[in-house]
Structure formats: C-alpha cells, structure tokens
Amino acid sequence: MPDAGLRWRVPDVPGVFEAASAWRHPQPFLEVVRQTYGHLLLESLGGTYSWTIRPANRDQFRRAGLTTLGEYIDRFLQDDPRPLPYLAHVSVHRNLPALKRYLVPPPEFGPNWVDEPRYDRWSGPEIYVGRRGCYFAGLHVDHCNVHVGFVQLSGRKRFTVFPPADGQYLYTWRGVQFPYQRRNSAVRLFQPDWAERWPDACKASPRVIDVGPGQGLVLPANWWHVTQVLEAGVTWNVRIVNHTNIAPFIREHLLGIPRGIGLAASRLRDRVAGRKPAWP
Ligand SMILES: [Fe+2]
C-alpha cells in the first residue's frame, strides 16, 4: 500500500482497490444525507464547474416531480418505479459540508494539496447518485492535469477509460471555461452508431473498469473517461493535486492566459466580420 506522502506515485494505469473504510459513519451514506440535508432543494445543488445544477438536470427533476434532496433519496431507496434522474455533481464542500469528516480518502489517493473548501474549484469533492442505466455520456478528461480518485460508497459503476495519447482519435473540442483546454470529446460511446459517426475513435484503446461497492479507483491525469451505473449506488470522487502533478497543473493555468486572449481576439474578428462565432 503506498504511503500518503511524497513517496506516493500515481499509477501508470488505473486500477481498482479496496476502499471499504472510506465512509467512516455507522449509518449508510444516504441515510445520513437524508437526515442532515433532506430539506435541500435539488435546484440549489451544484458542483465544481458551475455551482448550480445543470439546466438539463433541473428540467429532469421537475418532470420527475422532485423538489428536495429528501424526496429524491426516498424514491431512490424505496425502489419507487417512477423515473429518477441521475443526481450528479453534488458538492461535498458546498452542499454536504457536515459529511466531509466522515469521507476519508484512502491512502491510494495519495496526498492531496487542494482538498479543502478554499480550493474547491480544483478538488471539488462531489457525490453522484444513480440507478442502473444512469450514465455520464460526455467523454472528457478532468481539468488542469488533476488526478481523480473515486470510491463507490454503494452500487457498481462502469468506467470506460482511454489513455491520454488517445486524445488524437477522439474528436476533441475546447472547454468554455478557463483555462480553455481541449479536454472534451464529441464521441458519444453510448450511441449505437458511434463507430460510424466517429471512425477515428476505433483506433483508440479503451479499457473497461467495473468498480463495486467499497472499492476505489484512481484515474491518473488526462485519462479520458465516461461512466455508467451498473447497479444503483453512490459514488464519491475528488480531484487530486500533489507533487506528481503540481507543475503541469500550474502550467495549464498559465497556458489558459494566451488561449483566452486568442479566443477573445477570434470572437472579436468574427463580430467585426459579421460571422457567427464558432467555438473551436
Ligand atoms: Fe471526470
């Protein structure tokens, strides 16, 4: 087992490990959330990148007739057959702060220099709750060369991951937020015709990793990933910055400055020319 210190090394390839003691509370996670934060409005929840729930998610909850986090958890736990959208990007620091002390990162996550509220823009520990069939379809890498640690608090999730070098085959596009990295892929792996629509993606080398209850996973920086829920459950994830990636983490922020200037200039040129601006 690696030391949680400077001797820690990020794995070359993501792998599953036991992390059953990550949740240090005698009651199941969702029971504690229900008791402590069941009153929260679903519309008030949000994660690292936007701090508000995604508009599409908000519509899903409205259509499902759900208003509070407690209603959501009740429907989830009671196996209620009515539809239940994926509850994604719930910020631990902002929405569930009293639970933070019970979520103890396993040693495999290594040291994390940004896992505190003031650095939440980078670490953003988040919770995902979903039933079988829920998925996160947008193939991407996380921002600024962070590693990402996951623990399945319950249920089972499938990660489809690609090594960083596969980005050349994945029809990438630039993120709209600083530092404007090309860290999103147009490929939609859950569409049955993805191989015809994005043929270069067939040259890539995906790996499928299933993470079960009480298991963890570390995705090294810049591994592409999508996820799907195989068995209803809860995922906790946190982004990691330490001695292994602090230099590229800072470099990515610095690169965002000329990228931002270039993007602003191209938007200005489009406006002057009367063209519809296209996001590169
Ligand atoms: Fe991610």
Strand partners, 18: 215
Q: How far apart are CA 249 and CA 256, in angstroms?
A: 11
At 254, is the secondary structure helix, strand, or coil? helix
Q: How far apart are CA 105 and CA 114, in angstroms?
A: 13
Distance 142 CA to ligand 1 centre (A): 5
Express each pLDDT in 72-96 by its tens digit: 999 999 978 888 999 988 999 999 9
Mean pLDDT of 51-67: 78
| pLDDT at residue 80 in the model | 80
Which one-letter amino acid corresponds to residue 179?
P
Express each pLDDT in 27-41 by its tens digit: 999 999 999 999 999
Express each pLDDT in 109-154 by its tens digit: 999 999 999 998 899 899 999 999 999 889 999 999 999 999 999 9
144 close to 242: Cβ distance less than 8 angstroms: no
Is residue 50's pLDDT more than 80? no
Q: How far apart are CA 62 and CA 208, in angstroms?
A: 33
Distance 71 CA to ligand 1 centre (A): 27
Q: How far apart are CA 280 and CA 263, in angstroms?
A: 9
| pLDDT at residue 58 in the model | 79
Distance 18 CA to ligand 1 centre (A): 21
Q: The whole model's pTM is what?
A: 0.91
Distance 147 CA to ligand 1 centre (A): 10
| pLDDT at residue 136 in the model | 86
Mean pLDDT of 235-242: 97
Catalogue all structural domains in the chain, each as residue range(s) with its CATH number.
18-272 (2.60.120.650)
Express each pLDDT in 195-230 by its tens digit: 999 999 999 999 999 999 999 999 999 999 999 999
- Between 102 and 272, residue with greater pLDDT: 102
Distance 140 CA to ligand 1 centre (A): 6
Is residue 277's pLDDT more than 80? no
Distance 222 CA to ligand 1 centre (A): 9
- Between 243 and 4, residue with greater pLDDT: 243
| pLDDT at residue 53 in the model | 55
Distance 207 CA to ligand 1 centre (A): 16
Residue with tokens 């590169």: 280
Is residue 51's pLDDT more than 50? no
Q: Which helix (H) or strand (E) holds 161?
A: strand 147-162
Average confidence score pLDDT of the chain: 91
Query: Torsion angle of alpha carbons 9, 13, 18, 24, nearest 10°?
Result: 60
Distance 109 CA to ligand 1 centre (A): 15
Mean pLDDT of 15-32: 96
Q: Record the tokens describing residue 216, joined without a space.
A: 């963890």
At 237, is the secondary structure helix, strand, or coil? strand
| pLDDT at residue 279 in the model | 66
Distance 87 CA to ligand 1 centre (A): 15
| pLDDT at residue 47 in the model | 62
